[in-house]
């Protein structure tokens, strides 16, 4: 079409032939659910995990919403303190245990500080579930190595408990969990069980010697190299602070794990949680909807911007 | 233009010793140059320094702290450099300052208003300086405007057209345009009753889109990423789209610049919505001049009055209250 | 959209304000007005002063995507003190009534096409929790008619034709207005646009008026600068990815950038936002406000880690989003309508056209 022709057409009010055309717009139904509206929930229990980490167990105030709540291991939720803000945390109770939703919160900013002030009976807002989840279907029949650092243990806990609840679907399951010091180790109430149960091999490590510590001392990647899990028919699932992840990935590659065998879950500053507000992108992927769970193979195909 | 060629030669000579030289080069439309970061002497031919070299290159200096860089400065830019030095935000030994006599810069908004019945500024094909005029090539042919009609107000008030404390000064120093009362316009504005002035600011601020170009274009705005405008701690400003909060930010900005603002006017020039925010800063500059006999960015031995403390300020007679 | 061909109308400049005031009886009409050095959209007053073409400094996006809006308000109930004790009542705001944007530029109307798929839930298409659509935007989008006023000529910052637009493009428009001698030719582009012409002063256009408008559109197209050869710009998608870790390139491109938000806030396609709470302790609101990827706080995590701490990384993301990431998930469409406001109003003369072309060139050399 020549310029003059297209101009003549536009004057007569027809489309220049590209895109959705004149007047096109998405439909709007009046009863559209509002994805920004949190569900009110009540705190039923607060567990002090470490000086900086608290775990909250919540039930949704709407009984039916609680009963029908469905999520997959690794999905996240937004916790609201009304008047303060909202931030994203993994739902770290497994979908197989439905009495409550559990979130572990490290005190880091304004909202997490406010969350740390909660006690049983208090009201919070929940928007969940959001994001993708661990590919547990494709992990069936395989050996699993969990490698968690600090608060990074929270998302792993979901999948770990889920796998323990569906134990026969998986091969050997090992957990390497590290923190700076014994005090920084979350889920201490559960650790004794994890250490003794026969269907899970648990190794704990801290960065530096501490009095009364009976487990490993050393940085996670080094302890991992000592453990030397065989990569054959195995999937490694890891989460932790950026520097730990960096060296853990190197260790796993050294042990012969292919990028497809390494699964991690990412953290980014998030606001909407539904792929609109635009801040959690890595290239064309949004951590809130395309993630937070990615394989290393996927990450390698994305721009390097963690 | 002879000065421009001399400056290009000076830049070529100086560049081998420097990380880069900040000056001006061609901009996206005819009425303005763009900041230029020269790293290669071969590119020096595009360097410009003249009526359209509006941006204040002092803005960029703190980013380069620790690296030796060159900077071309107009008189007003040099005052910003001076104030940055005084406050320890840049180090003198990191800088190679090249001055030249400034005959003022264009206020593109004034020019756009004057040519509105011919064309929009963005339709101009080219513009060049010719003595006291600029010659503009519009869609319907060439025409000229007198520089004095399109010069920025700050230039009409300017008392320091020649960069001070330059390592190299190219060209002849020139006298300021006029010995006019620097604050005459402010005094005139203040003749209006308080309600009228408040209404003026409310109307102006109603256009604010909160892009913070005013803040980010200010060479002396040093809080940068910690700015109270978006901080949650302290949580002073609401993000709601309200005029009072927008004006509140401008007042905070002006207060932070009291005794530090050199009047370069970049805040106002940067504002895409044309809000005259410099006036607020100048109101405080005048106050500081009255109270402390201090003008920012001029006296390298001086101390910015609000960055220091004197038990007895000679011009503030507390005991007489 | 409807295949029916619409009949163009003509309205004289004398009758223009009356027609717009009649429209304003049924909808909020937003129209450009010169205020100081800027041209801004304001709610229609007496409808005067619209005889001459005004190029708005800002885009019209705030009509559908306000600078700040309450997602909901909340109110604590009962006398208990403390941030979280007691019951809480959440209230969604009532949606506004219909709106009309008069005098949008063709690029502004096309800008909403970048918003549409994002706010219509495309990102969550695969999500387990279901597709999440943005009801605030979609309600306004459905309720707003857009009257585009064709540009008479291009500015040297205009590049709508690089990205599929043109001075009289009707994409995203309901009605196209063209300035003729004595009045406007009003060419409907949708049923909604045709409905706006049901007014006694909108008289059937004469064939010569339609021809005159077409000639003006063609002249406006000719005033546009040169565009890169067709297809060349599409190379930006791969080029920007290839240059992702070329920090020297991005340092150079971002050297003059002030890292302010003028570009993103004036942009008709930039749709990012922040969510923050305002509260007096008992009652408050959760606000959704414009946010800019050029701000360092945009990606700052609570831990202190910031994936885009440097302005070079932020500029890279802005350009990358528009010319690589967005097209990758939206059928190759750029998230840029070529309005040139980011260039025209940049206090530091950053030119996104130059950056994209430089990226394509640089990547080709590697």
ipTM score assigned to the predicted complex: 0.94
Q: Within a domain: residue C244? A: yes
- Within A98-139, residue ranges assigned H as helices are 110-115
**Residue whose token pair is 């920004």:** A36
Q: pLDDT value at position B179?
A: 64
Give how far Cα A112 sits from Cα of A88, A93, A154, B110, B252, Å.
10, 19, 15, 51, 29
Chain B residues contacting A via beta carbons under 8 Å: 232-233
Do the domain assignments include residue C303? yes
Res A13 pLDDT > 70 = no
d(CA B123, CA B145): 16
Q: Which helix (H) or strand (E) holds B205?
A: helix B194-205
User: In A, which residues are within 8 Å of B233 by CB distance?
Assistant: 110
B197 within 8 A of B124, measured Cβ to Cβ: no
Looking at the DSSP assignment, which residues form a beta bridge with residue C285?
C73, C278
A chain contacts of residue C177, beta-carbon cutoff 8 Å: none
| Fold type of domain A143-265 | Rossmann fold (3.40.50)
Report pLDDT for C219.
Answer: 96
Closest CA to B285 of B260, B264, B304, B305: B260
Query: Which residue carries 């002073």 as its tokens?
Result: B236
C33-38 CB contacts, 8 Å cutoff, 24+ apart: C35/B203, C35/B207, C35/B274, C36/B204, C36/B207, C36/B273, C36/B274, C36/B275, C36/B276, C37/B109, C37/B112, C37/B113, C37/B273, C37/B274, C38/B207, C38/B272, C38/B273, C38/B274
> Could you report the per-residue pLDDT of A100-156, keeping only the tens digit for each?
999 999 999 899 999 999 999 999 999 999 999 999 999 999 999 999 999 999 999
Rounding to the nearest 10 degrees, give the CA dihedral for residues B10, B13, B19, B22: 20
| C315, part of any domain | yes
A268-304 residue pLDDT tens = 999 999 999 999 999 999 999 999 999 999 999 999 9
Which part of chain A has CATH 3.40.50.80?
A: 143-265
Tokens of B76: 């007003």
Q: Do B233 and A110 touch (CB under 8 A)?
A: yes
CATH tag, A39-130: 2.40.30.10
Band (B303; pLDDT cuts 50, 70, 90): confident
CA-nearest residue to A111 within chain B is B232
| CA A206 to the chain's CA centroid | 23
Nearest to C157 among B122, B241, B274 (CB): B122
Question: What is the distance of C-alpha A137 from the center of its chain?
Answer: 17
Alpha-carbon distances of A192 from A105, A172, A202, rounded to whole Å: 22, 19, 10
State whether B32 and C349 contact (CB < 8 Å).
yes
Q: How far is C223 from chain B (nearest CA, A)?
A: 9
Looking at residue C86, what is its pLDDT?
64
Count of CA atoms in the C-beta half-sphere (13 A) of C217: 35
Task: Please work out, in degrees rounded to the nearest 5, the angle formed at the alpha carbon of residue C233 by the alpha carbons of C232 and C238.
Answer: 95
| CB nearest to C119's CB, from A4, A131, A276 | A276
- Separation of alpha carbons A105 and A53, rounded Å: 5
Distance of residue C117 Cα from the nearest chain B Cα, in angstroms: 25
Instruction: Write down the pLDDT at residue C4.
Output: 58
Mean pLDDT, to the nearest integer, of B266-275?
Answer: 97
How far is the C-alpha of A229 from the C-alpha of A241, rounded, in Å? 22
Cα gap A290→C99, rounded to integer Å: 35
Q: Is a pLDDT exceeding 90 seen at residue A14?
A: no
A131: tokens are 């994001």
Residue B264 confidence (pLDDT) above 70:
yes
pLDDT score for C80:
55
Task: Tell me whether C124 touches chain A (CB under 8 Å).
Answer: yes
In eight-state DSSP terms, residue B151 is B
Q: Which residues lie below 8 Å from residue C314, measured CB to CB, with a gap of 6+?
A: C254, C259, C293, C294, C295, C296, C298, C308
In this prediction, residue B320 carries a pLDDT of 62
Would you say C221 and A3 are in contact if contact means Cβ atoms under 8 Å apart?
yes
Of A87, A131, A277, the CB nearest to C272: A277
Average pLDDT in the B128-142 region? 94
pLDDT of residue B75: 95
Domains of chain B, by residue range, sit at 1-105+158-178, 181-321
pLDDT score at B1: 55
Confidence (pLDDT) at B300: 84
| Distance in angstroms (rounded) separating the CA atoms of residues A179 and A50 | 11
The number of distinct structural domains making up chain C is 1
pLDDT band at B125 (very low <50, low <70, confident <90, very high): very high
Q: Which residues of C touch A121 (CB under 8 A)?
A: 85
Start-to-end Cα distance in chain B: 58
Assign C107 to helix, strand or coil.
helix
- What is the largest distance, in Å, between two alpha-carbon atoms of chain C? 74
Where helices occur in A166-304 by DSSP H, the ranges are 191-196, 220-227, 242-254, 296-300
Given this model, what pLDDT does residue A22 score? Answer: 78
Residue C312 belongs to a domain: yes
Pairwise CB contact (< 8 Å): C71 & A37: yes
Residues of A in contact with C178 (CB under 8 A): 11
Q: Which two tokens stand for residue C165?
A: 């637009």
Asked if B217's CB is within 8 angstroms of C347's CB, the reply is yes
- Taking 70 as the pLDDT cut, the residues of chain C under it are 1-4, 78-86, 128
Name residues 10-49 of chain C within 8 A of A (Cβ): none
Out of A55-69, A244-258, B114-128, C78-92, which region has the weakest mean confidence (pLDDT)?
C78-92
Q: Where are the beta strands (DSSP E) in chain A?
A: 39-50, 53-60, 76-81, 85-90, 101-106, 123-130, 143-149, 173-179, 201-206, 216-217, 234-239, 262-265, 281-282, 285-286, 293-295
Residue entry with tokens 């000679």: B314
Q: How far apart are CA C205 and CA B49, in angstroms?
A: 53
| CB-CB contact of A257 with A238 (8 Å) | no
DSSP, collapsed to helix, strand or coil, labels residue B49 as coil
Query: Which positions in chain B touch C40 (Cβ < 8 Å)?
Result: 207, 273
**A197 in helix, strand or coil?**
coil
Q: Is A271 an 8 Å CB contact of chain B?
A: no
- pLDDT value for A154: 92
Taking the C-alpha atoms of A94, A95, A100 and A106 in order, what is their torsion angle to the nearest 10 degrees? 40
Instruction: Report CB contact under 8 Å: A40, C90.
Output: yes
| Chain A contact partners (≥3 CB pairs within 8 A) | B, C
Taking CA–CA distances from B233, the nearest residue in chain A reads: A110
Could C348 and B34 be called an inter-chain contact, meaning their C-beta atoms sit closer than 8 Å? yes
Residue C1: inside a domain: no
Q: Per-residue pLDDT averaged across B145-158, rounded?
A: 93
pTM of the model as a whole: 0.94
pLDDT tops 90 at residue B267: yes
Count of beta carbons in the 10 Å neighbourhood of residue A126: 23
Q: What is the pLDDT of residue B310?
A: 79
Separation between Cα atoms, residue C52 and residue A237, nearest integer Å: 64
Model confidence band, residue A19 (pLDDT cutoffs 50, 70, 90): low
Question: Helix (H, G, I), strand (E, B), or coil: what is residue B101?
Answer: strand
Scanning A66-95 for CB atoms below 8 A from B yields 85
CA separation for the pair A96, A165 (Å, rounded) = 7
Instruction: Report d(CA C101, CA C79) in Å as an integer.
Output: 46
Tell me how close the Cα of B312 comes to any Cα of chain C, in angstroms: 40
Residue C2 lies in a domain: no
Residue C119's region, left for phi above 0, alpha for psi from -120 to 50, else beta, is alpha
Instruction: Output the six-digit token pair for A264.
Output: 């991690």
């Amino acid at each position: 079409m020549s310029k003059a022709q297209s101009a003549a057409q536009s004057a007569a009010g027809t489309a220049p032939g590209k895109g959705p055309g004149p007047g096109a717009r998405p439909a709007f139904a009046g009863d559209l659910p509002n994805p920004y509206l949190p569900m009110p929930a009540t705190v039923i229990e607060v567990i002090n995990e470490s000086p900086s980490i608290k775990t909250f167990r919540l039930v949704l105030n709407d009984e039916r919403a609680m009963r029908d709540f469905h999520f997959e291991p690794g999905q996240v939720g937004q916790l609201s303190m009304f008047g303060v803000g909202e931030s994203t945390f993994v739902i770290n109770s497994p979908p197989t245990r439905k009495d409550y939703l559990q979130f572990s919160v490290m005190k880091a900013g304004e909202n997490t500080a406010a969350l740390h002030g909660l006690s049983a009976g208090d009201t919070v807002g929940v928007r969940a579930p959001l994001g993708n989840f661990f590919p547990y279907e494709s992990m069936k029949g395989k050996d699993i190595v969990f490698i968690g650092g600090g608060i990074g243990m929270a998302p792993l806990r979901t999948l770990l408990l889920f796998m323990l609840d569906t134990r026969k679907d998986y091969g050997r399951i090992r957990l390497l969990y590290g923190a700076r010091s014994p005090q920084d180790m979350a889920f201490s109430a559960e650790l004794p069980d994890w250490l003794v149960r026969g269907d899970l091999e648990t190794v704990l490590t801290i960065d530096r010697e501490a009095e009364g510590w009976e487990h490993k001392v050393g940085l996670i990647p080094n302890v991992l190299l000592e453990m030397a899990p065989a990569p054959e028919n195995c999937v490694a699932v890891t989460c932790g602070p950026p520097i730990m992840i960096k060296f853990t990935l190197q260790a796993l590659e050294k042990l012969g794990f292919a990028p497809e065998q390494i699964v991690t879950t990412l953290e980014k500053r998030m606001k909407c949680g539904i792929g609109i507000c635009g801040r959690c992108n890595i290239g064309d992927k949004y951590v809130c909807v395309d993630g937070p769970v990615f394989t290393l193979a996927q990450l390698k195909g994305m721009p390097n911007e963690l | 233009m002879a000065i421009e060629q001399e400056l290009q030669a000076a830049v070529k000579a100086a560049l081998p010793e420097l990380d880069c030289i900040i000056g001006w080069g061609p901009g996206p439309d005819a009425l303005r140059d763009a900041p230029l970061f020269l790293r290669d002497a071969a590119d020096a031919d595009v360097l410009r320094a003249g009526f359209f070299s509006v941006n204040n290159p002092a803005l960029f200096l703190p980013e380069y702290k620790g690296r030796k860089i060159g900077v071309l400065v107009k008189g007003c830019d040099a005052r910003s450099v001076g104030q940055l030095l005084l406050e320890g935000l840049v180090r003198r030994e990191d800088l190679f300052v090249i001055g030249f006599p400034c005959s003022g810069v264009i206020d593109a908004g004034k020019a756009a208003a004057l040519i509105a019945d011919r064309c929009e500024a963005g339709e101009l094909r080219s513009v060049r300086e010719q003595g006291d005029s600029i010659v503009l090539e519009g869609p319907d042919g060439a025409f000229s405007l007198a520089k004095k009609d399109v010069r920025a107000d700050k230039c009409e008030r300017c008392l320091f057209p020649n960069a001070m404390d330059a390592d190299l000064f190219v060209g002849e120093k020139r006298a300021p345009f006029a010995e006019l009362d620097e604050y005459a316009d402010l005094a005139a504005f203040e003749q209006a009753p308080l309600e009228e002035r408040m209404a003026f600011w409310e109307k102006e601020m109603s256009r604010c889109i909160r892009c913070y170009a005013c803040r980010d274009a200010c060479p002396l705005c040093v809080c940068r990423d910690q700015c109270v405008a978006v901080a949650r701690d302290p949580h002073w400003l609401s993000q709601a789209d309200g005029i009072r909060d927008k004006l509140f930010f401008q007042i905070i900005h002006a207060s932070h610049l009291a005794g530090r603002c050199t009047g370069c006017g970049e805040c106002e020039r940067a504002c895409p919505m044309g809000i005259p925010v410099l006036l607020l800063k100048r109101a405080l500059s005048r106050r500081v001049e009255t109270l402390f006999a201090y003008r920012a960015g001029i006296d390298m031995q001086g101390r910015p009055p609000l960055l220091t403390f004197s038990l007895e300020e000679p011009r503030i007679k507390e005991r007489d209250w | 959209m409807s295949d029916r061909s619409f009949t163009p109308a003509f309205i004289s400049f004398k009758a223009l304000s009356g027609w717009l005031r009649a429209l304003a009886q049924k909808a909020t009409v937003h129209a450009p007005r010169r205020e100081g050095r800027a041209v801004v959209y304001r709610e229609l007053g007496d409808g005067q002063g619209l005889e001459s073409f005004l190029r708005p400094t800002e885009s019209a996006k705030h009509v559908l995507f306000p600078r700040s809006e309450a997602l909901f308000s909340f109110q604590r109930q009962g006398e208990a003190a403390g941030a979280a004790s007691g019951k809480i009542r959440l209230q969604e705001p009532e949606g506004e009534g219909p709106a009309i944007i008069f005098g949008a530029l063709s690029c502004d109307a096309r800008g909403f096409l970048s918003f549409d798929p994002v706010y219509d839930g495309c990102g969550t298409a695969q999500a387990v929790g279901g597709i999440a659509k943005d009801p605030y935007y979609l309600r306004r989008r459905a309720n707003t008619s857009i009257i585009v006023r064709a540009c008479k000529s291009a500015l040297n910052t205009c590049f709508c034709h690089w990205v599929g637009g043109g001075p009289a493009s009707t994409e995203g428009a309901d009605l196209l207005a063209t300035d003729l001698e004595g009045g406007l030719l009003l060419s409907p582009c949708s049923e909604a646009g045709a409905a706006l012409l049901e007014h006694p002063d909108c008289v059937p256009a004469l064939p010569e008026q339609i021809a005159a408008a077409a000639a003006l559109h063609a002249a406006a197209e000719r005033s546009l600068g040169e565009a890169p050869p067709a297809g060349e710009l599409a190379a930006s998608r791969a080029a920007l990815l290839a240059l992702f870790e070329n920090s020297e390139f991005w340092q150079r491109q971002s050297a003059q950038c002030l890292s302010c938000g003028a570009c993103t806030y004036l942009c008709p396609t930039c749709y990012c936002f922040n969510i923050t709470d305002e509260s007096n302790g008992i009652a408050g609101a959760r606000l959704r406000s414009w946010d800019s990827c050029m701000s360092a706080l945009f990606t700052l995590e609570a831990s202190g880690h910031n994936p885009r701490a440097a302005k070079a990384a932020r500029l890279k993301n802005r350009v990358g989003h528009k010319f690589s990431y967005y097209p990758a998930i939206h059928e190759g469409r750029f998230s840029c309508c070529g309005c040139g406001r980011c260039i025209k109003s940049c206090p530091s003369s950053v030119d996104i056209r130059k950056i994209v072309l430089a990226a394509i060139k640089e990547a080709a050399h590697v």
